[in-house]
Amino acid sequence: MRVRLLRAGSREVLRESITNADGRCDTPLLEGASFQSGQYILAFEAAAYFRQRGANLPDPPFLDVVELHFGISAESHYHVPLLVSPWAYSTYRGS
């Protein structure tokens, strides 16, 4: 699934990645000097992902791009799982 990391407010795209077969990005989206406290958005292209896998979605799809708005502190570690189907999603701060 294609995922973009954006800075909240300006919506500047900081990084873009495609998840691997396990549903994870192969490298951290923020690391080193780019890992700064602040507000961010993860944008997951859910409808495109399910269409590529043959799902018969309505037009327009119920879920197209799932955006998660969240804040981070540079002193912590973050893992943001997205559990998604064509009709629902859930998320949490992982370990």
Q: Count CB-CB contacts under 10 A for residue 6.
A: 19
Span 16-38, pLDDT tens digits = 999 999 999 999 999 999 999 99
Domain locations in the chain? Answer: 2-91
pLDDT of residue 77: 87
What is the reported pTM? 0.93
pLDDT of residue 55: 97
pLDDT of residue 6: 98
Sign, CA torsion 94/17/24/88? positive
pLDDT of residue 74: 84
What architecture does CATH give domain 2-91?
A: Sandwich (2.60)
Q: Which long-range contacts (CB under 8 A, 24 or more apart) does 32-36 make?
A: 35/74, 36/74
pLDDT of residue 87: 97
φ/ψ region of 23 (left if φ > 0, alpha if ψ in -120 to 50, else beta) reads left
Q: Take residue 48 and report the two structure tokens written for it.
A: 């495109």
**What stretches in the chain show pLDDT beneath 50?**
none
Q: Take residue 64 and report the two structure tokens written for it.
A: 């197209």
